[in-house]
């Protein structure tokens, strides 16, 4: 049985796994899971990942969730070029440091902006209160500042001279608020330059393909049927409002 990767390219961690697998010519079957349609709650997908989240992989009998773990697994299994997850002690530590930090920082803050700007107004039918939006923006700006000042500094990539899992995970998260119409690169030339380097390193065609859905998010969300998305209401009330 071929490696199956369960993905929805609206999701940031799905994009990093997708790009990594395609870039490294890892053979896999793309199994589409539409998150906004609630397909992650289906019975079949529950057998792949009881946490009901994407991405997830099934490699023979072995199922695995969590994009970071998936990429570490694929890098090792398919012996991808060393720069993705360097073997040098300190370089690897730099990558691991970023992969750890990002969960409760840029991922959280970028996701929130996407929900506050696009999904919540659609599903709840109201704009988010300004103070909440301001607070969320402040958090995102704080995280972006750390990406620039701590993780990148004057290096071309997070771990040094070459692209790694850290840059891949970083870029897909930063693209999420961009998909909601917030151009975080506009006032950040250093970050924009890094984005271009990552885009080139990954392959511009692949990068753009992976981000096609999220960059069309504003239009897609506008055309969605809000009545079919009410299943997300309790989550929204709990997490964001």
Q: What residues line the site for another protein (CB under 8 A)? A: 50-51, 62, 64-69, 72-73, 76-77, 89-90, 92-93, 96-97, 99-101, 103-104, 108, 131-132, 135, 146, 149-150, 238
Question: How far, in whole angstroms, is CA 107 from its chain's centroid?
Answer: 7
Of 81 and 135, nearer to another protein (C-beta) is: 135
What is the Cα–Cα distance from 175 to 140, expressed in whole angstroms?
12
Of 131 and 154, nearer to another protein (C-beta) is: 131
Of 143 and 180, nearer to another protein (C-beta) is: 143
What is the Cα–Cα distance from 215 to 72, expressed in whole angstroms?
27
CB 212 → another protein: shortest distance, Å? 26
Closest CA to 211 of 28, 9, 5, 29: 9
CB 62 → another protein: shortest distance, Å? 6
CB 57 → another protein: shortest distance, Å? 10
Helix (H) or strand (E) holding 6: strand 4-7
**H helix intervals, 49-87:** 67-77
What is the Cα–Cα distance from 114 to 120, expressed in whole angstroms?
9
Strand segments (E) across 53-100? 56-59, 62-65
CB 70 → another protein: shortest distance, Å? 8
Of 72 and 164, nearer to another protein (C-beta) is: 72
Closest CA to 147 of 114, 113, 98, 83: 98
CB 67 → another protein: shortest distance, Å? 8
**H helix intervals, 153-240:** 165-179, 189-202, 204-210, 212-215, 217-222, 233-239
CB 23 → another protein: shortest distance, Å? 20
Of 140 and 221, nearer to another protein (C-beta) is: 140
Of 86 and 179, nearer to another protein (C-beta) is: 86
């Amino acid at each position: 049985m071929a490696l199956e990767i369960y993905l929805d390219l609206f999701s940031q961690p799905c994009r990093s796994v997708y790009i990594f697998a395609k870039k490294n010519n890892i053979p896999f079957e793309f199994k589409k899971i539409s998150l906004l349609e609630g397909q992650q709650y289906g019975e079949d997908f529950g057998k792949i990942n009881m946490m009901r989240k994407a991405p997830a992989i099934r490699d023979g009998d072995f199922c695995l969730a969590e994009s970071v773990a998936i990429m570490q697994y694929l890098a090792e299994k398919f012996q991808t070029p060393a720069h993705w997850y360097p073997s040098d002690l300190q370089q690897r530590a730099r990558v691991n440091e970023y992969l750890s930090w990002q969960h409760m920082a840029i991922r959280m803050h970028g996701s929130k902006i996407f929900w506050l700007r696009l999904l919540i107004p659609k599903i709840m039918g109201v704009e988010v209160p300004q103070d909440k939006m301001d607070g969320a923006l402040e958090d995102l700006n704080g995280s972006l500042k750390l990406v620039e000042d701590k993780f990148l500094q004057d290096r071309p990539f997070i771990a040094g001279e070459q692209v790694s899992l850290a840059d891949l995970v970083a870029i897909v998260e930063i693209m999420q608020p961009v998909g909601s119409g917030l151009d975080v690169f506009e006032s950040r030339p250093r970050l924009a330059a890094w984005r271009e380097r990552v885009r080139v390193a990954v392959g511009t065609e692949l990068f753009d393909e992976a981000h096609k859905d999220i960059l069309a998010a504003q239009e897609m969300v506008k055309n969605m049927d809000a009545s079919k998305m009410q299943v997300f209401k309790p989550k929204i009330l709990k997490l964001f409002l």
